[in-house]
Structure 1
């Protein structure tokens, strides 16, 4: 039996396949790794399975075409690969039942994965680097640019971090409230960097990646729902929404940056600005100011 779902689209160019896979990896890889990690309990194996699924896409899509839902395709293939691996190991038979009958998990698997990456056994900078790669889908080049480092150095740190997660048996879960202070800051830092990279990207010929910035805001929204009494997630989400509210006015038709004073304010999203203001007031009412609120 083939481990790839069928698709009805005709063959497409390699450039289109590469572009689609790049977007799918950015949007879905963290979610799929998190879903597999929840069952397998092994970070490296989960990530390897996702990489295998991407390679299968490179083999099959030029022949079968790009599926109508590439993210769902990737999850299906990764899940089947994981099932095959579990069947070969009798110790995981109970987990196999869970993987074959997936259910929606709350909070989002990517948030669980983010907190796993933020374990205090890892240095703070390593935590953020690992989250940007595993959860947010940053390339090694983008992470190196964000940290003013070399790609080789970032690659080495990623390998060491994943090995330490496995060796230390770091749990895959959202932390208890008493452990929150030491790990929430790193999660917020990664989301902040992710938003910045989308708001003014360092890669390619495009000046902004609205999808990446909006995905960071979406993850920040999940974080505020998970911890509604924590003011800093509210402050960060407000900051993101205030910036997104004027995203359509930041560049001219040639892609050149328009200064704040010269932007067409009639095109700003007033509803989003109002929502951001409400978030700031909600955070301020908790009486614990922090850098994102300020």
Structure 2
């Protein structure tokens, strides 16, 4: 087994082992630390000794020992811990996969979105604290403190390891999906730094969403989110040049798109739309499917895209949705119509100075022939983004528009 195979296996098993320990001992923070130690032991021993016949049981046994050792240090609880210090045999490890329960726990409503994301990547995704810190460009000590505070807040909230009932369960699931969506977006288009992609985050978001879908295959929004991720990630190879420069959707070489991923995404998108209720991820998946179905940019069914954005705007109103609808409207009714719709966003503080609003306006101004206005907005957009890849692209567009204006 190769090193990447070991890593994939451990990341798959770690949340299952953590779920087993939390269910048994009820100490999330201590259990999570114990599992991390067990995973570290496996990375040292398995490449030399081989993967055990029951790797999940092996990890559970080692993690249980580490946890019991920690508990025994508390003399007041010695008798209770001694009773739970038995060896864990393969047949004692439950077959159930508690990944979904762990996601619910890590996405507890008492946590901020940033803490939910960090804890999910650490406890369920299997990333080390250092890896999570690198992903979000903060010092490891800062991330360690954030994760530790998140665990303490969950403990103080008295959260139990189980699925909530009724409306609370649906609301918590929406939070879980939102966190996975945020992780994927950060991996697909990094908000800062020199690289456009952070592939490890996008891959992890897809893996975790697959795990949720495996347990809730009939949920339209879960299916829609997985479809959206696959259809979007399928374009990854075509999104940058060899030197790492951004290539916009309408200029991408579509022969480089991952066809197998697209086919899977299209099937999932169709299944999501067949669900009895319609949510924002299902509609976004349908939009991505419309783009994926077009052999060339010129064959894109923009009327359908615009109609889908109208639906999305109605069920999940958001200025970014309106901004994207303006792009589709410009394709069906002309750039002036798109610019008129963009003007309705100028008073929305959530998009004030946002590079996406500036760049879309620049693009539409360029199409109307207002090269001076396009140049100014491209330059402002370039200054507003923290992504170096996006900045380079926007500066190149500004340069091209300026040169065209002088010719």
TM-score, normalised on structure 1?
Answer: 0.70
Q: Partner residue of 1:50?
A: 35
Shift of residue 42, structure 1, vs aligned partner:
0.7
The answer to which of 127-136 and 200-209 deviates more is 200-209
Shift of residue 115, structure 1, vs aligned partner:
0.8
CA deviations over 1:152-201 (Å, ceiling 9, x no partner): 55433322221233344422223334322221122112212332344356
Q: Distance in 2 between matches of 1:65 and 1:234?
A: 36
Q: Partner residue of 1:172?
A: 161
More helix by share: 2
Contact 1:132–1:190, Cα closer than 8 Å, also in 2:
no
Count of paired positions: 275
Q: Distance in 2 between matches of 1:29 and 1:281?
A: 32
Q: Partner residue of 1:80?
A: 62
Q: Which has the higher contact order (CA 8 A, sep 6+)?
A: 1
Q: Partner residue of 1:118?
A: 107
Q: Partner residue of 1:287?
A: 277
Alpha carbon RMSD of aligned pairs, Å? 4.3
Q: Distance in 2 between matches of 1:22 and 1:197?
A: 22
Contact 2:102–2:124, Cα closer than 8 Å, also in 1:
yes
| Superposition misfits of 4+ residues, deviation over 4 angstroms | 19-29, 54-58, 64-70, 72-75, 84-90, 92-98, 138-154, 200-212
Q: Which has the larger radius of gyration?
A: 2
Shift of residue 104, structure 1, vs aligned partner:
5.0
CA deviations over 1:11-47 (Å, ceiling 9, x no partner): xxxxxx9x99988876654444333223221111112
Q: 1:260 aligns with which of 249, 269, 289?
A: 249
Q: Distance in 2 between matches of 1:243 and 1:266?
A: 15
CA deviations over 1:63-95 (Å, ceiling 9, x no partner): x9656559x879735622414654855435776
What are structure 2's unaligned runs of at least 5 residues? 73-77, 285-407
Q: Distance in 1 between matches of 2:246 and 2:132?
A: 23
Contact 1:117–1:127, Cα closer than 8 Å, also in 2:
yes
TM-score, normalised on structure 2?
Answer: 0.53
Q: Distance in 2 between matches of 1:144 and 1:110?
A: 22
Contact 2:121–2:127, Cα closer than 8 Å, also in 1:
yes
Q: 1:181 aligns with which of 166, 170, 189?
A: 170
What are structure 1's unaligned runs of at least 5 residues? 1-8, 10-16
Shift of residue 239, structure 1, vs aligned partner:
0.9
Q: Partner residue of 1:162?
A: 151
